[in-house]
Amino acid sequence: MTARLELVSHKLCPYVQRAAITLAEKGAAFERSWVDLGNRPAWFTAISPLGKVPLLKVDGEVLFESAVICDYLDETLGPRLHPADPLLRAKHRAWVEFGSSVLTAIGTFYNAPDAAAFERAADSLEGKFATIEQVLGDGPWFAGARFSLVDAAFGPVFRYFDVFDRIGRFGILDGKPKVQAWRAALAARPSVAGAVTPEYPELLLDFVRRRGSHLAALAVDVT
Ligand SMILES: N[C@@H](CCC(=O)N[C@@H](CS)C(=O)NCC(=O)O)C(=O)O
């Protein structure tokens, strides 16, 4: 019997998007519920051990942590997105974790309080993408011809840059042709495009403007 799946989501959360992309790649039917993290409903606090999204409800059982959720989905629903070889699979899990470190660096970038902190954050992000440029092959995906869970982790990463590009030219992805090609392929993938609601870009822009940060000041006049 097919399990009933519910993805507890927030409209801007990149970790939620990983799970939504994985579900879409599997062609799995699932429901979505939305949580306002600024005003958490009691039912959410009661079932989320870390107070975070995403959660995946599986016939009422609750899973938390996006990497665990994606691994569970990969083990229970075809087609497999992780490599069959254990060593390669471990490497992919490590690059998913690297994707989490890029998301942390993106948070530091949009929260940087002044120009100096902003430059440091941009340099740090640039360094992470330079590392990625070294490990990418001929594409179109992280590991070549087959879409993997590393791709699911990086689709939400690049989505930030669609809004950052509207604010200014920060040069973070410049001179990295493999990264740029990967970004374009991910943006065109239906599972990635469909992981957010249509208002996502404007919600993110509004979120950035409310940071009180250096980037927020640059974003004031963006239309
Ligand atoms: N390591 C977690 C991170 C999830 C996460 O940070 N979620 C954020 C939203 S994007 C959240 O729920 N934050 C609420 C909080 O930290 O209180 C995962 O991979 O699922």
Ligand 1 atom with the smallest distance to the CA of 48 is 12
pLDDT digits (tens, 9 = 90+) for 93-124: 999 999 999 999 999 999 999 999 999 999 99
**Residues marked as catalytic:** 13
Pocket residue to mutate for ligand 1, from 15, 100, 108, 200, most atoms within 8 A of Cβ: 15
Q: What percentage of the chain reaches a pLDDT higher than 70? A: 100
Long-range contacts of 165-169 (CB under 8 A, 24+ apart): 166/201, 166/205, 166/222, 167/208, 167/215, 167/218, 167/219, 167/222, 168/218
Q: Which atom of ligand 1 is nearest to the CA of 14?
A: 10
Give me ligand 1 centre to Cα 156, in Å: 14
- Which residues form ligand 1's pocket by a CB distance below 6 Å? 10, 13, 15, 37, 51-54, 65-67
Q: Candidates 50, 70, 96, 203: which one to mutate for ligand 1, based on the most atoms within 8 Å of Cβ? A: 50
pLDDT tens column, 12-59: 999 999 999 999 999 999 999 999 999 999 999 999 999 999 999 999
Question: What does R_g of the chain's alpha carbons equal in angstroms?
Answer: 18
Same CATH fold assignment for domains 5-76 and 86-218? no
- Model confidence at 2, in pLDDT bands (50, 70, 90)? confident
For the chain, give every domain's residue range.
5-76, 86-218
Query: Ligand 1 centroid vs 204 CA: distance in angstroms?
Result: 16
* Domain at 5-76: CATH code: 3.40.30.10
What is the rounded distance in angstroms from the CA atom of residue 198 to the CA atom of residue 223?
A: 16
Q: How confident is the model at residue 1 (pLDDT cuts 50, 70, 90)?
A: low
CATH of domain 86-218: 1.20.1050.10
Judge contact between 63 and 72, C-beta under 8 A. yes
- The ligand 1 atom at the shortest distance from the C-alpha of residue 52 is 12
